[in-house]
Amino acid sequence: MLYNYIKSLHLIFVVTWFAGLFYIPRLFIYHIEAWQKPSPDKEILSEQLKLMTKRLWYIITWPSAILCTLFAIWLLILMPGWLQQPWMHVKLAFVVVLFVYHLKCHQIFKQMQNDDIRYTSNFMRMWNEVATIILFAVVFLVILKTTFDWIYGIIGMFALVALLMLGIKMYKRYREKNPDS
């Protein structure tokens, strides 16, 4: 019975962690685009976006990442046999990549808090998709476990990346044609 409670809490914090990781690059995009506006709009928007980003990052995203990890460790203690499973090794590798992504977002967050804008909004739109790719990979690994067909999985990941890049390019063209939207 304890296992189901721990698993539920783990999944809740996975969802909230990803919510933060999906939204933080959007706030970065808005911050970058605010810097292209004339004063005083630039300063007003920038201060509001810094506050929103800070709250999202420290109140939702970081606590969710920590709690998700703690409950995951607890699950592995309850189910030590999972560590012998190849799918779990791959999942944990993706989790490491997710933490690298999270830490890079933290670095960008710190830069933006200091009005140090180093990236374009187009770069951030592509950066935003990294978490999506990791989420797809982890969900398929966890659900399919040992029945996961690596060839189809790799083909599917490349197809997903291609579709995401196509969507970003189409959105960029749309925005260029409709600058007020």
Residue ranges at the known binding site for heme = 10, 91
CA–CA distance from 10 to each of 4, 29, 47, 59, 131 (Å)? 10, 29, 34, 17, 18
CA atoms of 153 and 17, how far apart (whole Å): 24
CA atoms of 53 and 23, how far apart (whole Å): 9
CA atoms of 135 and 126, how far apart (whole Å): 15
